[in-house]
Amino acid sequence: MSIDLLEETALAMVAAGKGIIAIDESNSTIKKRFDAVGIECTEENRRAYRELLLATPNLSDHISGAILFDETLRQSTRDGVPFTKLMLDNGILPGIKVDRGPQPLAGFPGEVVTEGLDGLRDRLAEYARLGARFAKWRAVINIGEDYPTSTGIDANSHALARYAALCQEAGIVPMVEPEVIMDGSHDIDTCFDVTEATLRSLFDAMYKHNVMLEGSILKASMVLSGKDCEDQAGVDEVAEATLRCLKSTVPASLPGIVFLSGGQSDRAATEHLNAMNVIGGNPWPLSFSYGRAMQSAALQLWSQDIHGNVAAAQKIVAQRARENGLAALGRWTADLAG
């Protein structure tokens, strides 16, 4: 893919009123989700569930792309249509998760670094042949009493930058995701400081690795109070703090930012995104790349009758996509909530 096509793809990912649906759970992660609602985690059930999501009528009205797991990228609909063809025919860009998860960072208790760079060049070449237009790599930044350290942050930024450079070499748009985890009793100010340090480190590393920002997307976590913090920041405070942090760290040349839901409720993730877009005045589009916040209600309904509840579950997916698409424009209101 040429430089122009990388830019074109990145811009399409953050088109006005559209976002990304994340259905890239590993088999072990989706097993936990299925177990929680009483579904057997067979390959066929995983395939059927992903088809339910990707075949939702008019999904592309508010969804520009979907992040897939390796297994899903290779699967087809019940009628034998490859998922990548189904997506592209309906105006949805196929994406692929390429990292292999976080592992403890030796010498730094409480911190982790994401692995998966070994063999990544060859894997990306195969994914490009299979139809992937963009990829995702998630770094995990934990907050504790003595961490994160600058070493832990820089180790993850270095991996993200190397991944991004390899993606662009393969003609794939890199989505870089440095997730600052909500777990903990830290306040919103601590989250702000950690997020700011992480993003500064990330873009410094991307610059050093000659990553073209115009052909990249940031998947960011919002600046939030820790889950166990007694003083939970309100919607407006979260929106203002997140925007202040992003404006001080993210280059304006980036085509766009999509947010992860990161353990927030469906409603909170939508409210926060909407509040940021109501404030406006940003150099980049702010959209969404939600997983659980897009799927949880639909999965719960589908689990009650996996053959009979497909259409009803798809209506929920479409509704969640519409709500978040409106939030990406700053046009969501509480009376629109499903």
- What one-character DSSP code corresponds to residue 335? G
Both tokens of 88, joined, read 């592209």
Catalytic choice (51, 219, 271, 323): 219
Catalytic residue chosen out of the listed positions 177, 179, 271, 323? 177
- Please say whether the dihedral angle defined by the alpha carbons of residues 247, 249, 252 and 255, taken in this order, is positive or negative: negative
Residue given tokens 């034998």 in the structure block: 80
Our answer to whether residue 51 is catalytic in this structure is no
Nearest partner of 196 among 127, 134, 156, 242, judged by Cα: 242
Q: Could you give the count of Cα atoms lying within 13 Å of 225 in the half-sphere of its Cβ?
A: 14
For strands 173-180 and 134-141, give the pairing.
Answer: parallel
Rounded Cα–Cα distance for residues 30 and 104 (Å): 22
Residue of 147, 234, 219, 148 lying closest to 188 (CA atoms): 234
Query: From residue 138, how far is each of 84, 163, 166, 195, 320 by CA, in Å?
Result: 22, 10, 15, 14, 23
Distance between CA 298 and CA 49 in Å, rounded? 10
- Residue 151 phi/psi, 5-degree rounding, is -65, -45
CB 240 within 8 A of CB 258: no
Going along 69-133, which residue ranges are E strands?
93-97, 102-104, 112-114
Question: 162 burial class (0-12, 13-18, 19+ CB within 10 angstroms)?
Answer: middle
What is the distance between the alpha carbons of residues 54 and 169, in angstroms, rounded to a whole number? 28
Token pair, residue 259, equals 């947010």
Q: Is residue 208 flagged as an active site residue? A: no
Two tokens, residue 146: 């003595």
Number of H helices, E strands in the chain: 12, 10
Active site residues: 177, 219
